[in-house]
Amino acid sequence: MRKTPKKEYRLRSAKNWIKTYSGKNKVKGYSKKYAVDKLCAVRELRMIGVEISEEYETQLRQSFESLIQHRLSLRKKREDKLNALNESDSDENFALIVGYTSGGFPYGVTHEEMEEIMTDKGIMTNKVIPQSKD
């Protein structure tokens, strides 16, 4: 990850950079060169006198908002999935109830089997292991 230069440096340097820039999209070029987001690039390019349309800025803002909403929805889906896994059925016989027979009896992984699985995988359990007294 590249470190973003300080604003004062960017603005001084950009005055010379903009004269030699040959690309089509000055905002995108500035954003990449100085490691800033495109909205920051718009503000700073305007500070040095570059004309950028309000429509383009509005489009960028809407794009950022939709990206934020998309990321929030992905985070919520991931959290819901984790919560669903943590809310599995258990009782005094089973650590994890996988399902029920046609007669209504549960089946799944017993507490003893779960402890064995956790021990084999190296996962710490909350169970206190008695210490032998020498």
Q: Is residue 62 included in any domain, yes or no?
A: yes
Tokens of 58: 């509005």
Are 65 and 46 in a shared domain? yes
Are 33 and 75 in a shared domain? yes
With the C-alpha atoms ordered 86, 89, 91, 93, is the resulting torsion angle positive or negative? negative
Are 75 and 13 in a shared domain? yes
What 53-58 contacts at long range (C-beta under 8 Å, 24+ apart), as own/partner pairs, is: 56/27
For residue 72, give the amino acid letter: L
Domain range enclosing 12: 7-84
Report yes or no on whether pTM surpasses 0.75: no
Q: Is residue 65 included in any domain, yes or no?
A: yes
Per-residue pLDDT tens digits of the chain, which is 134 residues long = 678 889 999 999 999 999 999 999 999 999 999 999 999 999 999 999 999 999 999 999 999 999 999 999 999 998 887 777 666 677 788 888 888 899 988 888 888 888 888 887 776 555 544 444 54
Are 50 and 97 in a shared domain? no
Residues 6+ apart with CB under 8 A from 3: 35
